[in-house]
Amino acid sequence: MQIIQVQNQSRPFSPSLSATYCDTFWSRFRGLMFRSSLGPDQALLLVDKKDNRLDSAIHMLFMKFDITAVWINSQKKVVDVKLARKGQLMLIPQQAACFVLEAHPAQYSNFQIGDTITF
């Protein structure tokens, strides 16, 4: 399990997010399901091989809390941001993405479409 730092270069905030890098099928599949909480400066970065709308879709089944979902394309530009509510069946980004950042709901205002992200 690799932990990386995620920062928004377009609108910097402090502290940066410490994200678990999830690039295997099982780590992406598990995501945040069944966890009881997520700290305000913690996140998961779900990584896929290419930009795609359907492959970067997420669900909120078996979730015990809401999250901020940030979809990021291969150029590391934010293509969508949504407040994902526990129990929602499926959330699909407006544009294709290969990264999905799942963060605490308090992080919602730190990201906007078009922002440049580094990790």
Domains and CATH numbers, the chain: 2-118 (2.60.120.1140)
Of 109, 111, 87, 89, nearest in space to 99 by CA? 111
Decide if 58 contacts 69 (C-beta within 8 A): yes
The pLDDT tens digits along the chain (119 residues) read 799 999 999 999 888 899 999 998 777 766 666 677 789 999 999 999 999 999 999 989 888 899 999 999 999 999 999 999 998 989 999 999 999 999 999 999 999 999 999 99
Of 33, 27, 35, nearest in space to 3 by CA? 27
Decide if 66 contacts 94 (C-beta within 8 A): no
58 DSSP β-pair partners: 91
Which pLDDT belongs to residue 24? 84
- Phi and psi angles of residue 67, each rounded to the nearest 5 degrees, phi first: -140, 165
Which pLDDT belongs to residue 34? 60
